[in-house]
């Protein structure tokens, strides 16, 4: 690895004060060039930060700094609207029922992660709508979600003009639970009436 050291010149102006020479390849006060920051951040999307650091003979902290620079630049230059469709879901990031709430834009011409909030509560999801504002929220046409009650409540209250599309997987799971409850209730009733319920064995022969 070749390490280039460059001492930036300083000028003490009577009118403007101390000014430091600008370097177009520099990245703020970080000891990395802009190109190197973008390079590390790009690979940090494909590999873990530890694997990125090991692969390119740098430290985990440098990879973290590169990602932070790119994320901060993206947040500063991000344009939220217009948004026609969003999806909300949770992801578990640690043991002990610790979740993050993720909100995506899922328009046909634009798919991107919009926001991440800690936990999966009503207050958490409401912070997303606080961020985008009532005007932008009122123009959302579709919201995809599961049947987690806090999400449904916030969608109903903060995004009332949108069509709420529920996740088919969770709907089928709830239907199966309801069928199991009905079968169990009918079996108990048969036993109470003096009948022996028939138990069907699985078909192991296809």
Count Cβ atoms within 10 A of the Cβ of residue 41 and give its class: 0-12 exposed, 13-18 middle, 19 or more buried: buried
Strand order in 85-94's β-sheet?
110-118, 98-107, 85-94, 142-145, 163-166
**For residue 139, how many C-alpha atoms fall within 13 Å in the half-sphere facing its CB?**
11
The predicted structure's pLDDT at residue 48:
95
The kind and range of the H/E element at 133 are helix 122-138
Omega before 206 cis (within 30°)?
A: no
In a domain, 184, yes or no: no
Pick out the chain residues at pLDDT < 50.
1-4, 204-206
CATH of the domain at 114: 3.30.420.10
Q: Are 144 and 163 in contact (CB under 8 A)?
A: no
**For residue 200, how many C-alpha atoms fall within 13 Å in the half-sphere facing its CB?**
4
The predicted structure's pLDDT at residue 200:
60
90 and 164 co-located in one domain: yes
The predicted structure's pLDDT at residue 3:
44
In a domain, 31, yes or no: yes
Q: Give the pairing of strands 142-145 and 85-94.
A: parallel
In a domain, 201, yes or no: no
95 and 163 co-located in one domain: yes
Helix axes 149-158, 122-138, angle to 10 degrees: 30
- Residue 94 three-state SS: strand
State pTM to two decimals: 0.64
The total domain count for the chain is 2
The predicted structure's pLDDT at residue 106:
94
The residue range of the domain holding 105 is 85-169
In a domain, 186, yes or no: no
Q: What is the pLDDT of residues 4-18, one digit of tens each?
A: 455 667 778 888 888
55 and 89 co-located in one domain: no
């Amino acid at each position: 690895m070749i390490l280039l050291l460059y001492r930036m010149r300083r000028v003490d102006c009577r009118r403007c004060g101390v000014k430091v020479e600008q370097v177009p390849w520099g990245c703020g006060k970080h000891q990395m060039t802009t190109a190197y920051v973008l390079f590390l951040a790009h690979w940090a999307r494909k590999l873990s930060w530890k694997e990125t650091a090991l692969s390119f003979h740098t430290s985990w902290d440098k990879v973290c700094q590169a990602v932070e620079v790119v994320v901060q630049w993206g947040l500063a230059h991000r344009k939220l609207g217009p948004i026609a469709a969003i999806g909300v879901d949770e992801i578990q990031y640690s043991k002990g029922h610790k979740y993050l709430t993720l909100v995506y834009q899922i328009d046909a011409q634009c798919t991107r992660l919009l926001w991440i909030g800690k936990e999966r509560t009503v207050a958490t999801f409401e912070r997303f709508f606080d961020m985008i504002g009532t005007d932008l929220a009122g123009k959302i046409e579709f919201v995809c979600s599961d049947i987690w009650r806090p999400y449904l409540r916030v969608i109903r209250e903060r995004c009332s003009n949108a069509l709420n599309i529920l996740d088919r997987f969770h709907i089928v799971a709830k239907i199966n639970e309801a069928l199991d409850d009905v079968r169990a209730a009918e079996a108990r009733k048969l036993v109470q009436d003096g009948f022996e319920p028939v138990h069907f064995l699985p078909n192991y022969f296809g």
